[in-house]
Structures are given as structure tokens and as C-alpha cells.
Amino acid sequence: MRTAEVWKSEAEAQKARADRLQDDLTEIKLRLGRIEAENGRLIELLTALDPARVAALRTPR
């Protein structure tokens, strides 16, 4: 009976860790979405100021 309790406790701890990781991943995805949107706005601003410079920066070397 003791072994079953240990396994149950370990399973609950693993689930709690998995839930935390899932929450972290969701938060990271939301942050990434905001960063990508902000980068898009910054590129639009830079392009409006100097389109040739932006094109040069985006070209791989």
C-alpha cells in the first residue's frame, strides 16, 4: 500500500510540474506574439524613414 501512495504522490508532483511548464509555455507564446507585432511596427516605421536602409539590413551577408 505504501508503494502505491508514493507513486500517486510522484504522479501528482509530475502533473503539477507539467501544468507549470504548460503555463510558462503559454506565457512565452503570448510574449513572442507581442514582440513580433512590435517588431513589425518598428520595421514599418523604419521603412517609412529609409526603405533602402531597411532592405540592406534585412539582406543576409
Q: Which of the 8 DSSP states describes residue 59?
A: S
What is the rounded distance in angstroms from the CA atom of residue 28 to the CA atom of residue 25?
A: 5
pTM of the predicted protein model: 0.64
- What are the grid coordinates assigned to 47, written together? 521603412
More confident residue, 35 or 59: 35
So what's the pLDDT on residue 16? 98
The 10s digit of each residue's pLDDT in 4-40 is: 999 999 999 999 999 999 999 999 999 999 999 999 9
At 2, the pLDDT band (50, 70, 90 cuts) reads very high
So what's the pLDDT on residue 40? 93
- What are the grid coordinates assigned to 49, written together? 524613414
Closest to 57 in 3D by CA, of 45, 43, 36, 39 = 43
Alpha-carbon torsion 36, 41, 43, 46, what sign? negative
